[in-house]
């Protein structure tokens, strides 16, 4: 039995559905559940047309409601749930998994709706429950977090005796032609990038003002881009699992126009995550903003350019000699669109989640408990990446610029 239930029919859900259809010998039955059934239907219709041998069942669900999840899990009986809805639903879905004996995978850590924290503590607290139930929970299996964690684990396994400095560099050198849009769920994205910067150095977290630290970095096949240190959730699990790290940072590229929009959004209160009274009803400004911004899942059509995401690492090689290492993937938006109808941010995330699911179904990434992806063997994941559409490259002993 290898039934899989995908929750969330957005940009990432679209890519996961395509990848499952391309690997239908591994997944015996597929169901896509989401809040808005019509969006799930668009995806299942597209899959039905493109991949004749794969049929995706669809169902409407509110994944904030434990009882609805339990009813669905008991009737469909999935072996694995791929959660690509929103981080707010992670704990409810994990509770339903425990109640029904279902394994779990997601791409982003739990967030309380009224606090932007980006911490793993709530999900790590499920360790004993999953262990006792003999179930696997794979956390943060998108691209970053996800593939970047695997890149780091692969570097440690094959190339380093000790890693000391890790810089995850995330560049989107794409142009979608819109004045302002986010590349994944805008509510989560704006929460993430308007918070204070934070990085790990000498055993403690250093907090900065948002976008305070920045410099120009050179990206393969793209060139120089202004890059900003922001906090990103994989730093928390990576410094825990690789304690030799003296410093770990995350860099993301932003254009001036994007930052100007962001500043205005924040200054006028539209990034607020608490509720305000509007015409007698309570609304959350950032949720209203999401409703009027372009749908990230639909940006692909006119998107040009590419993403480049990777890990730049310094440390000692297996013989104790100083070494630099850069492992990365570049992904062209037009290629992602041609294959799945989405852009590369959805594509790289969905492909990574699907690889995690494939490895779970093959019993390779499967052990009782709650795990970040760097706690599994990186090799089978690295082997799958190019097969599933994401080629990766390594550069040794060049100036890392960071
Ligand atoms: P979208 O907003 O495009 O899609 C989210 C989907 O979840 C929508 O279909 C939405 O339904 C559905 N959903 C929301 N709330 C519920 C609910 N209560 N019950 C059921 N379904 C619900 O987001 P993305 O596809 O861009 O992102 C999906 C996830 O992937 C997010 O958690 C995001 O943080 C994560 N991500 C991770 C990355 C990584 O590299 N690790 C990178 C990019 C994204 P509706 O259509 O009704 O809105």
The pair phi, psi for residue 330, each rounded to 5°, is -115, 140
- In this structure, the answer to whether residues 335 and 262 fall within a common structural domain is yes
* Pocket of ligand 1 contains residue 15 by CB under 6 Å: no
CA distance 166 to 73: 40
- In this structure, the answer to whether residues 26 and 57 fall within a common structural domain is yes
- Residue showing tokens 């690889």: 355
Q: Which range among 128-132, 182-186, 209-213, 368-372 shows the weakest confidence by mean pLDDT?
A: 182-186
The per-residue pLDDT for range 64-78, each reduced to its tens digit, is: 999 999 999 999 999
Nearest residue (by CA) to ligand 1, atom 11, is 35
Closest approach atom of ligand 1 to CA 349: 40
- In this structure, the answer to whether residues 183 and 113 fall within a common structural domain is no
What percent of the chain has pLDDT above 90?
Answer: 94
Nearest residue (by CA) to ligand 1, atom 10, is 8
- In this structure, the answer to whether residues 270 and 152 fall within a common structural domain is yes
Residue 281, pLDDT above cutoff 80:
yes
* Pocket of ligand 1 contains residue 9 by CB under 6 Å: yes
Give the pLDDT confidence score for residue 54 in this predicted structure.
85
Residue 243 lies in a domain: yes
CA distance 383 to 253: 28
CATH number of the domain residue 233 falls in: 3.30.360.10
CA distance 344 to 335: 8
177 Rama class: left (phi>0) / alpha (psi -120 to 50) / beta: left
* Pocket of ligand 1 contains residue 34 by CB under 6 Å: yes
* Pocket of ligand 1 contains residue 35 by CB under 6 Å: yes
The per-residue pLDDT for range 358-380, each reduced to its tens digit, is: 999 999 999 999 999 999 999 99
The mean pLDDT value for 207-217 works out to 96
Q: Which range among 50-54, 196-200, 264-268, 332-336 shows the weakest confidence by mean pLDDT?
A: 50-54
* Pocket of ligand 1 contains residue 10 by CB under 6 Å: yes
H helices of 205-282, in order, are 234-241, 256-267
Which long-range contacts does 100-103 make (Cβ < 8 Å, 24+ apart)? 100/70, 100/73, 100/74, 101/133, 101/135, 102/5, 102/73, 102/78, 102/135, 103/79, 103/135, 103/136, 103/137, 103/360, 103/366
- Residue showing tokens 């047309």: 49
The mean predicted confidence, pLDDT, of the chain is 96
- In this structure, the answer to whether residues 217 and 334 fall within a common structural domain is yes
- In this structure, the answer to whether residues 123 and 254 fall within a common structural domain is no
User: Cα of 366 to ligand 1 centre, how many Å?
Assistant: 24
Nearest residue (by CA) to ligand 1, atom 37, is 107
- In this structure, the answer to whether residues 163 and 297 fall within a common structural domain is yes
CATH number of the domain residue 42 falls in: 3.40.50.720
CA distance 294 to 185: 10
Note the ipTM here.
0.99
Nearest residue (by CA) to ligand 1, atom 34, is 108
Does the global pTM surpass 0.90?
yes
What percent of the chain has pLDDT above 70?
Answer: 100
Residue 253, pLDDT above cutoff 70:
yes
Residue 357, pLDDT above cutoff 90:
yes
The per-residue pLDDT for range 299-347, each reduced to its tens digit, is: 999 999 999 999 999 999 999 999 999 999 999 999 999 999 999 999 9
Domain hosting 236: range is 147-341+389-396
* Pocket of ligand 1 contains residue 83 by CB under 6 Å: no
Residue 143, pLDDT above cutoff 70:
yes
- In this structure, the answer to whether residues 292 and 214 fall within a common structural domain is yes
* Total domain count, the chain: 2
Q: Show which of 107, 139, 171 is a domain's final residue.
A: 139
Return all residues near 384 (Cβ < 8 A) that are at least 6 apart: 355, 358, 359
Nearest residue (by CA) to ligand 1, atom 2, is 185
The pair phi, psi for residue 142, each rounded to 5°, is -100, -145
- In this structure, the answer to whether residues 194 and 326 fall within a common structural domain is yes
Contact 252, 227 (CB under 8 A): yes
Residue 288, pLDDT above cutoff 90:
yes
- Using only the alpha carbons of the chain, give its radius of gyration: 20
CA distances from 197 to 135, 156, 166, 192, 213 (A): 35, 26, 16, 10, 8
More confidently predicted of 323 and 115: 323
The mean pLDDT value for 79-83 works out to 98
Residue 363 lies in a domain: no
Residue 176, pLDDT above cutoff 90:
yes
pLDDT classification of 115: cutoffs 50, 70, 90: confident
User: Cα of 84 to ligand 1 centre, how many Å?
Assistant: 5
Residue 190, pLDDT above cutoff 80:
yes
For residue 207, the surrounding DSSP H or E stretch is: strand 204-208
Give the pLDDT confidence score for residue 1 in this predicted structure.
64
The pair phi, psi for residue 242, each rounded to 5°, is -125, 75
The mean pLDDT value for 6-35 works out to 96
The residue among 304, 290, 294, 343 whose CA lies nearest residue 14 is 343
């Amino acid at each position: 039995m290898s039934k899989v239930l995908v929750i969330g029919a957005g940009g990432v859900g679209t890519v996961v559905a395509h990848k499952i259809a391309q690997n239908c010998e591994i997944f015996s039955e597929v169901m896509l559940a989401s809040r808005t059934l019509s969006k799930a239907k668009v995806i299942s219709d597209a899959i039905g047309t493109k991949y004749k041998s794969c049929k995706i069942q669809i169902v409407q669900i509110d994944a904030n409601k434990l009882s609805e999840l339990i009813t669905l899990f008991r009737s469909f009986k999935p072996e694995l749930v791929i959660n690509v809805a929103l981080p707010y639903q992670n704990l409810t879905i994990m509770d339903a998994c425990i109640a029904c004996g279902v394994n779990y995978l997601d791409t982003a850590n739990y967030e309380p709706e009224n606090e932007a924290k980006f911490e793993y503590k709530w999900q790590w607290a499920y360790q004993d429950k999953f262990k006792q139930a003999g179930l696997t929970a794979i956390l943060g299996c998108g691209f970053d977090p996800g593939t970047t964690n695997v890149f780091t684990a692969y570097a440690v396994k094959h190339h380093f005796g000790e890693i000391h400095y890790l810089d995850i560099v995330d560049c989107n050198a794409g142009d979608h032609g819109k004045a302002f849009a986010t590349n994944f769920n805008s509510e989560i994205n704006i929460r993430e990038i308007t918070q204070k910067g934070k990085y790990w150095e000498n055993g403690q977290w250093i907090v900065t003002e948002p976008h305070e630290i920045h410099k120009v970095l050179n990206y393969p096949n793209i060139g120089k881009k202004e890059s900003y240190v922001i906090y990103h959730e994989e730093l928390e699990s990576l410094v825990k699992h690789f304690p030799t790290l003296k410093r770990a940072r995350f860099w993301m590229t932003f254009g001036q126009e994007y930052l100007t929009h962001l500043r205005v959004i924040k200054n006028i209160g539209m990034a607020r995550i608490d509720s305000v009274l509007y015409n007698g009803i309570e609304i959350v400004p950032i949720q209203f903003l999401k409703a009027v911004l372009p749908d990230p899942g639909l940006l692909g059509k006119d998107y040009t350019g590419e993403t480049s995401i990777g890990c730049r690492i310094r440390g000692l090689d297996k013989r104790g000699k100083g070494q630099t290492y850069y492992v990365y993937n570049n992904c062209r938006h037009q290629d992602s669109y041609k294959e799945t109808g989405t852009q590369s941010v959805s594509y790289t995330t969905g492909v990574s989640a699907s690889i995690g699911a494939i490895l779970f179904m093959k019993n390779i990434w499967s052990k009782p408990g709650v795990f970040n992806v760097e706690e599994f063997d990186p090799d089978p994941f690295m082997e799958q990446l190019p097969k599933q559409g994401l080629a990766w490259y390594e550069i040794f002993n060049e100036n890392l610029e960071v």
